[in-house]
Amino acid sequence: MGSTLIFAFMRTRDENKIEAIYREALQMVVNEGFEGLSMQKLAKAAGVSPATIYIYFKDKEDLLLQLHKRELDKYFAYILDGFDPEMDFASGLAVQWKRRAEYVIKHPNEGHFMENFAFTPLLQKSIRMRDKRFSEMMSRFVTKAIQNKELVVMPFEVYWSVAFAPLYNLVRYHKAGMNLSGEKFQLTDEMLMQTLSLVLKALKPGAGEPVPDISCIKHQ
């Protein structure tokens, strides 16, 4: 698969073919769902023989895992550009928000694929192949912000959910062109800025809002 040994007398790989396979596979999953991705349809769409796909990928599962890894790598690289975990919290969060928003707005299919993939049984296998450096940086950023009292003490998962889940939800509506009730919806920069403002307000240190007891887990 990923072997890069080069012998004499080798015919050169046509990288355009690999790109086409990746591109059309992603398109197909987004347009027709995971059950709509077939190797023969994919081969036709990418303009190659079905057998060619098996030169580059062990099987269909391998293709999906490689595609997911590739998309995550591209996404993470984009997010990290201009970001430094040593930034102060508000600036760092704003930079990340902007980069994430820009990417998924400009590349809605890529965003859709990554989110959809997170509900697949393949997710766990994908996580195992993941480069840990990205999440280490994110973790460091949050730990440091808590130490510096720029952020209330909270588990990383709570932070991430409050900080970014609203953004991804808005982008999902935007891509579908409608909200959950079926009403037309188009995301605007004003909405994005307002949402970021609300998120910053939520995460800013200070008295939390009092909350009624909601024991959903203990009393099962």
Partner DNA sequence: AATATAAATGAACGTTCATTCATTTTAAAA
Partner DNA sequence: TTTTAAAATGAATGAACGTTCATTTATATT
Contact set for a second copy, span 140-179 (CB under 8 A)? 152, 154-158, 160-162, 165-170, 172-173, 176, 178-179
Minimum distance, C-beta of residue 176 to a second copy, in the bound complex (Å): 7
**Residues from 30 through 69 that contact DNA (CB under 7 A):** 37-41, 47-55, 59-61
Choose the one of DNA, a second copy, none that binds residue 160, judging by a C-beta under 5 to 8 angstroms depending on kind.
a second copy
Q: Residue 178 has what DSSP assignment?
A: B
Give yes or no for a contact between 110 and 75, defined as CB atoms under 8 angstroms apart: yes
Kindly state whether residue 34 participates in binding a second copy, applying the rule CB under 8 A. Answer: yes
Give yes or no for a contact between 88 and 150, defined as CB atoms under 8 angstroms apart: yes
Where on the phi/psi map is residue 16: left (φ > 0), alpha (ψ -120 to 50), or beta? alpha
Q: Which span (8-16, 132-140, 177-185, 211-219) binds DNA, by CB under 7 A?
A: 8-16
SS3 126: helix
Q: Which span (1-9, 114-122, 129-137, 170-178) binds DNA, by CB under 7 A?
A: 1-9
Minimum distance, C-beta of residue 149 to a second copy, in the bound complex (Å): 16
Minimum distance, C-beta of residue 41 to DNA, in the bound complex (Å): 5
Kindly state whether residue 211 participates in binding a second copy, applying the rule CB under 8 A. Answer: yes
Query: How far, in Å, CA of 88 to CA of 90, rounded?
Result: 6
Query: How far, in Å, CA of 183 to CA of 86, rounded?
Result: 42
Query: How far, in Å, CA of 126 to CA of 33, rounded?
Result: 18
Q: Among 141, 59, 42, 50, which Cα is nearest to 96's?
A: 141
Nearer to DNA, 62 or 115 (CB): 62
Q: Among 54, 195, 151, which Cα is nearest to 42's?
A: 54
**Residues from 72 through 111 that contact a second copy (CB under 8 A):** 90, 94, 97-98, 101-102, 105-106
Kindly state whether residue 1 participates in binding DNA, applying the rule CB under 7 A. Answer: no
